[in-house]
Amino acid sequence: MLEVRDLHCGYGNAIVLRGVSLQVGSGEIVALLGRNGMGKTTFIRSIMGLTPPQVGSGTVIWDGENLTGLRPHNIADRKIGIVPQGRRLFPSLTVTEHLTMLKSARAKGGWTIDRVFGIFPRLAERRHHRGGQLSGGERGMLAVGRALMIDPKLILMDEPSEGLAPVMVQHLEGIIRELKREGVSILLVEQNLYSALAVADRLHVLETGRIVHHGTADELSRQTDVLFQHLGVR
């Protein structure tokens, strides 16, 4: 459903992405791995129109439509949700307000506030607390819940396990698998290699703005030379 072709992108004269191509099929989980500073977040931002590709340098196709050049809110209207790095919550808004700003609490069908509270009971307990009062793990849960409230067909997740306790990482992995079973496509940016291997169908390794390796989770887990060379994992 998502196809990124030969994407070049950067900030001013600094080129970050150098011809990145990647596909995510319907109901597929694709992970993008890499060390800090390799361009992973820039790639997510480019898909959402937050850091547009350089003119004439790559396209982003979603469900047959060219999204290149569209504004971020128009891209979100195509049922593309995002869990940004750093969560990007509003400190003054409550948990409930973060969720209902995208859909009324009385909405029926799809993802509702009650359904989000069902998978994240801690958020239900903290529903009246403001974003600035939440712990790192709670902010992570809320960022995922907020993305779900648009009933996404594709979710871009940028380091969703960051700051979560191991038990919550496992819980998040279970939610990602459930979304896959429901047909939601996920592009997952992770530094947690083992979490990515646990859920992803295919993985790509990004280094200095280029895809240097790709394969299935089983293939990558057995290629210890690749893991050490590009990710520093033995």
Q: 53-77 pLDDT, tens per residue?
A: 765 578 999 999 999 989 999 999 9
pLDDT at position 234 = 62
Q: What pTM was computed for the model?
A: 0.90
CA-wise closest residue to 212 among 223, 201, 198: 223
**Model confidence pLDDT, tens digit, residues 158-182:** 999 887 888 989 999 999 999 999 9
Residue entry with tokens 């030379």:
225
- Output the CA–CA distances (angstroms, integers) from residue 105 to 17, 24, 100, 197, in the order listed: 40, 31, 6, 35
**pLDDT higher than threshold 70 for residue 194:** yes
Give the number of other CB atoms < 10 A from CB of residue 182.
9
Q: Which amino acid is at 182?
A: E
Residue 120 dihedral angles phi and psi, to the nearest 5°: -125, 75
Phi-psi region of 70 (alpha: psi -120 to 50; beta: other; left: phi over 0): beta
Q: Greater confidence, 233 or 70?
A: 70
Task: Walk me through the domains of the chain, giving residue ranges and CATH numbers.
Answer: 2-231 (3.40.50.300)
Q: Which amino acid is at 35?
A: R
Query: The tokens of 30 are what?
Result: 């694709």
> Which distant-in-sequence residues (6+ apart) come within 8 Å of 64 by Cβ?
none
**pLDDT higher than threshold 80 for residue 147:** yes
Alpha helices in 102-211 (DSSP H): 113-119, 121-125, 136-148, 166-181, 193-199
Torsion angle of C-alpha atoms 25, 21, 34, 29, degrees rounded to 10: 0
Q: Which amino acid is at 46?
A: S
Do residues 35 and 72 make contact, with C-beta atoms less than 8 angstroms apart? no
Which of 11-15, 61-65, 97-101, 181-185 is the least confident region? 11-15
Which of 19-28, 140-149, 212-221 is the least confident region? 212-221
Residue entry with tokens 């403001």:
130
Q: Which amino acid is at 223?
A: Q
- Look up residue 53 and give its DSSP letter: P
pLDDT at position 75 = 95
pLDDT at position 69 = 87
- Look up residue 38 and give its DSSP letter: S
Torsion angle of C-alpha atoms 94, 96, 99, 101, degrees rounded to 10: -70
Sign of CA dihedral 107, 109, 112, 115: positive
